[in-house]
Amino acid sequence: MTGAAGAHELVLRVPLPDPRLAEAALRALKPEAEKPATGRFRAEVRLEGEVLVVHIEAKDTSALRAALNSFVSWIQALTDACLTLSRS
């Protein structure tokens, strides 16, 4: 992703304990990255082995923080759900 001058950006790298969880997380988050609810940020998600990589570019710090919070919440929810299912 190539951002505009002055854009705020971050790269979040989340190691996941299982390749199936990594693939599930990628499939679940890809639509959120491809069609964000707001035009204030752009995101890309990909896997590097079992590491989920989320690259976010935003117009301002508030949009960057909001996008980061959303992706972190979704990743946490996916991880919690998968761990709960694996214990059943």
Q: Would you call 33 helix, strand, or coil by DSSP?
A: helix
pLDDT digits (tens, 9 = 90+) for 35-67: 888 889 999 999 999 999 999 999 999 999 999
d(CA 31, CA 35): 6
> Is there a domain that residue 3 lies in?
no
- Confirm if 43 and 78 have CB atoms less than 8 A apart: no
pLDDT digits (tens, 9 = 90+) for 8-43: 999 999 998 888 889 989 999 999 999 888 889 999
Domain that includes residue 56, residue range:
9-87
> Is there a domain that residue 72 lies in?
yes
The pTM is what? 0.84
Pick from 79, 75, 73, 70: nearest CA to 17: 79
> Is there a domain that residue 65 lies in?
yes
CATH number of the domain within which 82 lies: 3.30.310.50
pLDDT, mean of residues 3-7: 56
- Total count of domains within the chain: 1
Confidence of residue 5 (pLDDT cuts 50, 70, 90): very low
> Is there a domain that residue 17 lies in?
yes
Compute the chain's Rg from CA coordinates. Answer: 13
